Amino acid sequence: MKNRLFQILAALVILSMVQMSCINSYSGISSQSSTPGSAQTAVTQVSPTSLPVPTTVAIQAPVVTANEPFRITGSFKWTQEIQGTLADNIIFAERQVVLTDLHGFVIRNKQWELPVDSQVLGYVQYDPKNGSGTYELSLPEVPQGTLNNVGNKNPQDTGVQIFAVSYSPNIYGGPFEAGDDRSLGWPNDTASIKTDSNRDDEITGGKLIIWSPDDKQQFPTGFGADNKLFTPDDPVAPLPAGYTVVDLDTNPFTFSQSSQQDVTLYEAQEVKPHDFSTETYTQAFDDLVSFLKTDYAFDGIPGKQPNWDQAVASIRPRVQQAEQSHDSYAYYEALRDFIYAFKDGHSGLDGGNLSKRDFQTNYLGSLGFTVRVLDDKSVMVDSVISGGPADAAGMKVGAIITQFNGKPVMDVINSEPLFFGLQSSDFAILYYKAIMLTRTKPDAQATVSFTNPGGSSRSVTLKAVSEVDSLLKELNVNQTPDLLPVQLQTLTVNGTNIGYIQVNSNEDDLNLILRLFERGLKDFQQNKVAGLIIDLRNNGGGVPLGLAGFLTNQTIDLGQLEYYNKLTGKFEPQDQPDQIQPNQEQYHFDKIAVLVGLNCDSACELEAYGFSKAPGAVVVGEYPTAGVEAEVSRGQIKMPEGISMQFPTGREVLPDGSLFLEGTGVQPTLKVPVDQSNVLSSEDVVLTAAENSILGK
Do 266 and 399 lie in a common domain? no
Q: Hey, which residues does 220 pair with through a beta bridge?
A: 236
Distance CA 151, CA 658 (A): 45
Specify the CATH number for the domain of residue 409: 2.30.42.10
Domain for residue 636, yes or no?
yes
Domain for residue 311, yes or no?
no
Specify the CATH number for the domain of residue 517: 3.90.226.10
Q: Hey, which residues does 212 pair with through a beta bridge?
A: 242
Residue 489: which H helix or E strand, with range?
strand 486-493
Distance CA 665, CA 648 (A): 17
677 Cβ partners below 8 Å, 6+ apart? none
Three-state secondary structure call for residue 437: coil
Do 70 and 208 lie in a common domain? yes
What value, to the nearest 5°, has the Cα angle with vertex 330 and ends 412 and 11?
65
Domain for residue 39, yes or no?
no
Burial class (CB in 10 A: 0-12, 13-18, 19+), 314: middle
Strands 592-595 and 532-535: parallel
What value, to the nearest 5°, has the Cα angle with vertex 675 and ends 670 and 676?
145
Number of H helices, E strands in the chain: 15, 40
Res 333: pLDDT: 98
Do 533 and 463 lie in a common domain? no
Three-state secondary structure call for residue 76: strand
Distance CA 355, CA 111 (A): 45
What's the domain count of the chain? 3
Do 600 and 648 lie in a common domain? yes
Contact between residue 625 and residue 600 where contact means Cβ atoms under 8 Å apart: yes
Three-state secondary structure call for residue 314: helix
Do 53 and 177 lie in a common domain? yes
- Residue 334: phi and psi, rounded to 5, are -65, -45
Do 162 and 247 lie in a common domain? yes
Distance CA 140, CA 209 (A): 12
Res 269: pLDDT: 87
Three-state secondary structure call for residue 4: helix
- Residue 47: phi and psi, rounded to 5, are -110, 140
Contact between residue 96 and residue 124 where contact means Cβ atoms under 8 Å apart: yes
Chosen domain end from 255, 271, 287: 271
Domain for residue 166, yes or no?
yes
Chosen domain end from 204, 236, 271: 271
Question: Helix, strand, coil % (nearest 5) of the chain?
Answer: 25, 30, 50
Do 390 and 462 lie in a common domain? yes
Domain for residue 312, yes or no?
no
Contact between residue 98 and residue 514 where contact means Cβ atoms under 8 Å apart: no
Do 547 and 593 lie in a common domain? yes
pLDDT along the chain (697 residues), means of 10: 36 34 29 28 41 50 73 91 56 86 96 95 90 94 95 84 94 89 92 95 97 94 96 94 97 95 93 94 98 96 94 98 98 97 95 95 97 98 96 97 98 95 96 97 97 93 95 81 89 97 91 95 98 96 94 96 95 92 96 97 96 98 97 94 96 95 97 97 97 94
616 Cβ partners below 8 Å, 6+ apart? 531, 589, 590, 591, 592
- Residue 108: phi and psi, rounded to 5, are 55, 55
- Residue 105: phi and psi, rounded to 5, are -70, -40
Domain for residue 438, yes or no?
yes
What is the 3 state secondary structure string of 571-636? EEECCCCCEECCCCCCCCCCCEEEECCCCCCCHHHHHHHHHHCCCCEEEEECCCCCCCCEECCCCE
pTM of the complete model: 0.89
Do 490 and 463 lie in a common domain? no
Do 258 and 375 lie in a common domain? no
Chosen domain end from 434, 467, 500: 467
Q: Hey, which residues does 658 pair with through a beta bridge?
A: none
- Residue 658: phi and psi, rounded to 5, are -75, 160
- Tell me the residue range of the domain where 118 lies: 47-271
Domain for residue 128, yes or no?
yes
Do 210 and 81 lie in a common domain? yes
Domain for residue 3, yes or no?
no
Distance CA 434, CA 57 (A): 70
Distance CA 595, CA 502 (A): 9
Do 656 and 523 lie in a common domain? yes
